[in-house]
Structure 1
C-alpha cells in the first residue's frame, strides 16, 4: 500500500470513458510525474486526486484513508496551477497565508510558516508586493509558497512551468528538484514536456488515451520502453524505429536492415532470445545517442556494430551534431560529437551500440522480451 493509492480508477463523461482502470501506488516522498500528450487524461486524474473531479469507478486513498467523495478542503492536499491563480488585490504574504487563515490557523503560526517558506523560496523581500508587480518566475514561486505553507500530505502540480519562457522553465525545474530533495515531500506533477518528466521525477507514468502505457523510473522508461508509443514519446530526438528482419548468422541473431542504397546490413543482437524471431519482421528501436562515430562510441559496451551508410543531412547543435541517414526506408538520426568528420552526401562508418537496442512486435507494438 502506498502513501497515495490510485486503485482501478475510471472516469466517464456520460457513456464515454476517458480514464481506464488506472492503478498507481505512490510512496511517501516520491516525485511522480504524469506525462502524455494533450487529452491523454493526466490533468483529469490529477483533478480526481484533488477532489475537483468526481470518481466514476475505483478508489483513491491518501495515507490509507479513502477520499472518494471527500471535499477538496478535507483531503490535506495543496495544488499549484498553471495559471498561478493568485489574488491580484492581495500582497504576496497575504496570498501565501490566505488558505491557512481560512482553515483557522492562528496568526503567530501563519507568520512563522510564511517566514520559513519565503526564506526557502528566496521571496522574503517580495512579501509586501502585489502579484502585478512580479515577474512570471516570481509569481510561480509565490504559488508554490502558498502550497508549501500548508504542509500538506500531497502536493499536486498541474503544468506549473508551461507559461514561463524557455530559460526560466529550466531554472524553475532545477528549483523544484532542489526543493523536493530538501523537503522530501510527496509530489504528483502533470506535464506534457517529456524533458521535465525525465529530469524531475523519481517515477513516471506515461499516459495516452486514458491508459497508463508504462509506469517506471526515468531510466526504465527511457532504456526499456514498454511499447512504440512510449519509445517515440519519451526522448528528444525520439528513438529511431527501423523496419528490420531477424536473421541468424553463426548461430547468433542479427537485425537485417537496409541502408540508403537498399543493401542489407547486419547488426548483431545482444539478446540471444531474439533467435525465437528468426525470419520474422520486427521494428528495431535505437536511441540517437546509440548511433555515433567510432571514436565517440561507448567504450563500456560489449557490442558496438559497424554500419556503413550515406549521410543525408547534418545539423550542428553546439555540443552535438545530429546526422540523418536512411535506414529501412526511414530517416534515422545519429547523435555525434560536435567535431565528428561527417558531411551530407558522403558515406560514413557509423558505430551502433546494439546493447542499447530494443525490438518491437509490428503487430502489437509491444516490446519484445517483456
Structure 2
C-alpha cells in the first residue's frame, strides 16, 4: 500500500473508455511522472487524482483514505497548471497566500509561510508586483509558491513548463528537482516531454491509448522497454528498431541484417533465449549510443561487434556527431564522439554494443524477455 494508490481505475465518457484499469502505487516522497503523447490519458488521470474528473470505476486513495467523490478542496492536494492560473489583479504575495486565507489560516501563519516559500523560490523581491509585471519563469515560481505554501499531501503538476522557452525550461526543471530533493514531497507530474520525464522522476509511467505501457525507474524504462512504443518514445534520438532474422550459429543466436549495399551482416546477440527464434524474424532495438565509432565504444562491454556500412548523412551537434545510415532497409541513427572522423558516402567501421540490444516480437511488439 502506498501514500497515493490508483487502484484498478477506469474513466469512461458514455460508452467510450479512455482510461483502462490503471494500477499505480506511489510511495511517500516519490516523484512520479506520467508521460505520453497528446490524448494518451495522462492529464485525465491527473484530474481524477485532483477530483476535477469523476472516477468511473476503481479507487484512488491518499494516505489510505478513499478519494472517490471527495471534493477537490477536501483532498489536501495542490495543483500547478500549465497556464499558471494566477489572479491578475492580486500581488504576488496575495496570489501565494489566497488559498490559506480562504481556509481561515491566521495572518501570522500566512505571513510566516509566505516568507519561507518566497525565500525558497528566491522571489522575495517580487512580492509586491502583479502577475502582468513578471516573466514566464517568475510566474511559474509564483504558481509553485502558491502550491508549496499549503503544505499538501500530494503535489500535482500539469505540464508546468510547456509555455516556457527552451533554456528557461531546462533551468526550471533543475529548480523543480532541487525543490523535490529539499522538501521530499510526493509529486505526480504530467508531461509529453520524455527528457523532462527522465531527468525529474524517481519513476515513470509511460502512457499510450489510455493504458500504462510501462511503469519503472528511468533506467528500467530506457534500458529494458516493455514494447516498441516505449522503446521509440523514450530517448532522443529514439531507439533504432530494425527488422532482422535470427540464425543460430555454433549455439549463438545471430541477428542477420542487410546493410546499405543489400548485403547480409551477422551480429551475435548475447541472449541465449533467442535460440528459440531460429529462422524467424524479430525486431532488434539498438540505442544510438550503442552504435558508434570504435574509439567511442563502451570499453566495459564484452559484446562489441564490428560492422562495416556506408554513411548516409552526418550531423555535427556539438558534443556529439549523429550519423544516419541504412540497415534492414530503414534509416538508423548512430551517436559518435564530436571528433569522430566520418564523412557522408564513405564506408565506415561501426562498433555495435550488442549487450545493449533489445529484442521485440514483430507481431505483438512486446519485448522478448530472457
TM above 0.5: yes
Query: What's 2:103 paired with?
Result: 103
Residue 161 of structure 2 corresponds to which residue in structure 1? 161
Deviation of the 1:298 alpha carbon: 0.2
Partner of 1:24: 24
Deviation at 1:270, TM superposition (A): 1.4
Superposition pairs for residues 276-315 of structure 1, below 5 Å? Answer: 276-315=276-315
Q: Equivalents in 2 of 1:21, 1:295: separation in Å?
A: 47
Cα-to-partner distance string for 1:134-173 (whole Å, 9 max, x where unaligned): 0000000000000000000000000000000000000000
Per-residue deviation at 1:248?
A: 1.1
Which digits, 9 at most, give the CA deviation of each residue in 1:167-220, with x for residues without a partner? 000000000000000000000000000000000000000000100000000000
Question: 2: CA distance between counterparts of 1:253 and 1:362?
Answer: 17
For the residues of structure 2 that align with 1:239 and 1:255, how far apart are their CA atoms?
17
Q: Give 1:33 shift.
A: 0.2
Residue 252 of structure 2 contacts residue 270 of structure 2 at CA under 8 Å; is this kept in 1?
A: no
| Structure 1 residue 274, shift from structure 2 partner | 1.2
- Mapping of residues 8-19 of structure 1, within 5 Å: 8-19=8-19
Deviation at 1:251, TM superposition (A): 1.2
Number of equivalences: 370
In the alignment, the residues of structure 1 paired with residue 65 and residue 47 of structure 2 have an alpha-carbon distance, to the nearest angstrom, of 18
Report matched runs for 1:81-160 at 5 Å. 81-160=81-160
1:59 match: 59
Gapped regions of structure 1 (runs ≥ 5): none
Separation in structure 2 between the aligned mates of residue 267 and residue 110 of structure 1, nearest angstrom: 65
CA contact 2:242–2:284 (8 Å) conserved in 1: yes
Does the 8 Å CA contact 2:253/2:275 hold for their aligned counterparts? yes
Find out whether 1:332 has 2:332 as its counterpart: yes
Equivalent-residue separation in structure 2 for 1:189 and 1:260 (angstroms): 42
2:47 aligns with 47
What is the SS of the residue equivalent to 2:88? Answer: coil
RMSD (Å) for aligned C-alpha atoms? 0.5
Runs of 4 or more, structure 1, over 6 Å off, are none
The correspondence of residues 112-261 of structure 1 with structure 2, limited to 5 A, is: 112-261=112-261
Q: Once the two structures are superposed, what CA deviation does each residue of 1:289-340 show, in whole Å capped at 9, x if it has no partner?
A: 0000000100000100011100000000011000001000000000001111
Q: Distance in 1 between matches of 2:368 and 2:193?
A: 27
| Secondary structure of residue in 2 paired with 1:9 | strand
Cα distance between partner residues in 2 of 1:28 and 1:271:
37
Where 2:122 maps in the other structure, the secondary structure is coil
SS of equivalent to 2:335:
strand
Separation in 2, partners of 1:338, 1:155: 40
* Alpha-carbon displacement from aligned partner over 1:39-74 (angstroms, at most 9, x marks no partner): 000000000000000000000000000010000000
Work out the CA distance in 1 between the residues paired with 2:250 and 2:347.
Answer: 28
User: Any gaps of 5 or more consecutive residues in structure 2?
Assistant: none
Quote how far apart the aligned CAs of 1:262 are.
Answer: 1.1
Distance 1:270 1:54 in 2: 48
CA-CA distance at 1:81 after TM superposition: 0.1
How far off its partner does 1:239 sit?
A: 0.3
Aligned position for 2:366:
366
Q: What is the alpha-carbon distance in structure 1 between the residues aligned to residue 67 and residue 105 of structure 2?
A: 23
SS in 1 for 2:283: strand
2 CA distance for matches of 1:275 and 1:340?
A: 36
Q: Output the CA distance in 1 between the equivalents of 2:144 and 2:291.
A: 41
> What is the distance in 2 between the residues matched to 1:227 and 1:248?
24
Provide, for residues 70-128 of structure 1, a one-character-per-residue CA deviation record: whole Å limited to 9, x for no partner.
Answer: 00000000000000000000000000000000011111011110000000000011101
Q: So what's the TM-score if we normalise by structure 1?
A: 0.99
Quick one: distance in 2 between partners of 1:95 and 1:132?
13
Q: TM-score, normalised by structure 2?
A: 0.99
